Amino acid sequence: MPPEEGKTSFWHELWELIRVLLISLVVVIPIRVFVAQPFIVKGASMEPNFHGGEYLIVDQLSFRLRSPHRGEVIIMRYPFNPSIFYIKRIAGLPGETVIIREGRVRVRTGEGPETVLEELYLKSGIVTAPDKIVELKGDEYFVLGDNRTDSSDSRVWGVLNEDFLVGRTLLRLWPVTKIGIL
């Protein structure tokens, strides 16, 4: 006697659903863990370039293939509580000396001359304070928020070890009026 069609159809559909879920997990989980992840901006530390509530996609793969560049906006784990994520901009690279003087950020590599950073992404008239000189080791970065008067960053809690880097901002997906590659 042939099996009842209703029972066969049910088990067949259940198996198809399980297959779709398994394939999705095999594809999605590695992408989420190793390639890209979502991030929602909180706070005002990166204004006027990034605002609270913006939805970003973070590229986690690039920093496995190359070192971060000065000026890149990154997502990082807060060194004193790695369960908290921050968004900041890289100002100083490993092996450099970061000098904050007269409201400007300068960098020096080795014994070379100081170079003033041209921070065109800052609002006009923004100054960086307090004056500070920080020498970075081979695995340290100096990160700053774009809203220098309202940012907890390397000026407050010190340098960022590369182990706390998560990735660089890649896409802005929300708000719709600002969708684009960063």
Active site residue 9: no
Distances (CA, A) of 157 to 23, 144, 151, 160, 164: 43, 11, 11, 9, 13
Task: Return all residues near 169 (Cβ < 8 A) that are at least 6 apart.
Answer: 39, 50, 56, 57, 58, 59, 72, 73, 74, 75, 87, 182
Say if CB 41 and CB 52 are below 8 A apart: yes
Lookup: tokens for 140: 């340290």
- Close Cβ partners of 48 (under 8 Å, ≥ 6 residues apart): 123, 146, 147
Catalytic residue among 24, 42, 45, 67: 45
Give me the amino acid identity at 27: V
Question: 42 an active-site residue?
Answer: no
How far apart, in whole angstroms, are the C-alpha atoms of residue 92 and residue 154? Answer: 10
Annotated active-site residue in 88, 123, 124, 137: 88
Say which amino acid occupies 95: G
**Would you name the residues annotated as active-site residues?**
45, 88
